[in-house]
């Protein structure tokens, strides 16, 4: 491992390097790592900023949306002048302003079963920051087939949840949820609302999980669903297990190739 660093490198990352669990070698692992963040919105914003600040060598950003005014309440990587700009471009500009040593690759596309495997296979770790069930199941399945570790995250109103998945070793998203919910069962953030800072709480947890995996310290949220309620700040760890009957990673899988789940439509009125 190359551990020859210039003075500016040592100064920029000195607070990381001071940590016994990180040190020079850990910071080198971060510099050599590649992480793909899918979604440059509420979750993706803090994830991307903290990973860039930490010195991740290569960051990939997937998002096909443009910045609009409603995003600015929680999507802190985007600023008012960015309205109308592709989120991938807006995010890349902020990352490079924060840390110009980071290589940034952007994918201004809608992920489908046709393109996702080619994109994710170039990265060491994948983070799901999306806000719809179609994407979450597609990402989970693609990471399983490509053997890519994955951080799942979801937020709504005052609630957040996350789990880390090591394909073939730990419970996957389908072990827990199997399939998208029926129509009108779960509203989206645009329908039910989301306290902006809740996205920040969960996004920083996901970024931390990615760094722990890359460096190789601590206990990952594998076989564990971490949930929290910002109203009470009650955090819970729900123990999970790999399901033998899982249609994807079980003993007799019935999902043997990627497919696109139907979009889940919800007409539930906004509450609270």
Percent of the chain scoring above 90 in pLDDT: 89
Q: What is the pLDDT of residue 5?
A: 76
The domains located in the chain, with CATH, are 22-239 (3.40.50.720)
The DSSP letter of residue 23 is: H
Q: Region 179-203: what's the mean pLDDT?
A: 83
- Asked whether the predicted pLDDT for residue 228 surpasses 70, the reply is yes
For residue range 169-184, list pLDDT tens digits in order.
Answer: 999 999 999 999 877 6
Here the tokens at position 201 are 């709480």
pLDDT score for 2: 47
Longest dimension (CA), the chain: 58
Burial class (CB in 10 A: 0-12, 13-18, 19+), 211: buried
Assign 187 a pLDDT band (cuts: 50, 70, 90): low
pLDDT at 128 over 70: yes
202 has a pLDDT exceeding 70: yes
pLDDT at 267 over 60: no
**Tens-digit pLDDT profile for residues 1-32:** 445 578 999 999 999 999 999 999 999 999 99
Q: How far apart are CA 2 and CA 115, in angstroms?
A: 34
Query: What is the b/e burial string over 41-66, where b = at least 16 CB atoms within 10 angstroms of the residue's CB?
Result: bbbbbbbbbbbbbbbbbbbbbbbeeb
Is pLDDT of 231 > 60?
A: yes
pLDDT at site 270: 40
Please give the pLDDT value at position 192.
78
Residue 266 pLDDT grade (very low, low, confident, very high; cuts 50, 70, 90)? very low
**Does residue 188 surpass a pLDDT of 80?**
no
DSSP string, 178-201: -SPPPTTSS--HHHH-B-HHHHHH
Cα separation, 202 vs 179, whole angstroms: 23
Task: List pLDDT tens digits, range 60-106.
Answer: 999 999 999 999 999 999 999 999 999 999 999 999 999 999 999 99
Residue 185's pLDDT is 65
Residues facing 239 on adjacent strands: 224
Question: For residue 150, what are the CA distances in angstroms to 23, 140, 144, 266?
Answer: 25, 7, 9, 27
Instruction: Identify the pLDDT of residue 1.
Output: 42
Neighbour-count burial of 188, counting CB atoms closer than 10 A to its CB (0-12 exposed, 13-18 middle, 19+ buried): middle
Average pLDDT over residues 37-46: 98
Average pLDDT for the chain = 93
Q: What is the CA radius of gyration of the chain?
A: 18
């Amino acid at each position: 491992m190359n551990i020859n660093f210039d003075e500016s490198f040592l100064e920029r990352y000195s607070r990381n390097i001071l940590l016994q669990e990180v040190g020079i070698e850990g910071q080198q692992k971060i510099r050599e790592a590649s992480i793909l963040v899918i979604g440059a919105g509420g979750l993706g914003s803090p994830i991307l900023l903290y990973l860039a600040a930490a010195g991740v060598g290569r960051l990939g950003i997937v998002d096909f949306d443009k910045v609009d005014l409603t995003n600015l309440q929680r999507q802190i990587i985007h600023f008012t002048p960015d309205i109308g700009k592709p989120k991938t471009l807006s995010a890349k500009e902020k990352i490079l302003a924060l840390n110009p040593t980071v290589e940034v690759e952007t994918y201004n596309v809608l992920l489908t079963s046709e393109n996702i495997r080619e994109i994710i296979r170039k990265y060491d770790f994948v983070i799901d920051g999306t806000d719809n069930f179609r994407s979450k199941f597609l990402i989970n399945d693609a990471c399983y087939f490509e053997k890519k570790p994955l951080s799942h995250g979801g937020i709504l109103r005052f609630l957040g949840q996350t789990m880390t998945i090591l394909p073939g070793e730990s419970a996957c998203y389908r072990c827990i949820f199997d399939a998208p919910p029926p129509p009108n069962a779960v509203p989206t953030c645009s329908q039910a609302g989301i306290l902006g800072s809740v996205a920040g709480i969960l996004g920083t947890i996901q970024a931390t999980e990615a760094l722990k995996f890359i460096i190789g310290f601590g206990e990952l949220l594998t076989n564990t669903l971490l949930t929290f309620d910002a109203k009470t700040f009650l955090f819970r760890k729900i123990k999970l297990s790999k399901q033998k009957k899982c249609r994807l990673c079980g003993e007799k899988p019935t999902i043997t190739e990627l497919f696109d789940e139907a979009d889940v439509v919800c007409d539930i009125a906004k509450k609270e």
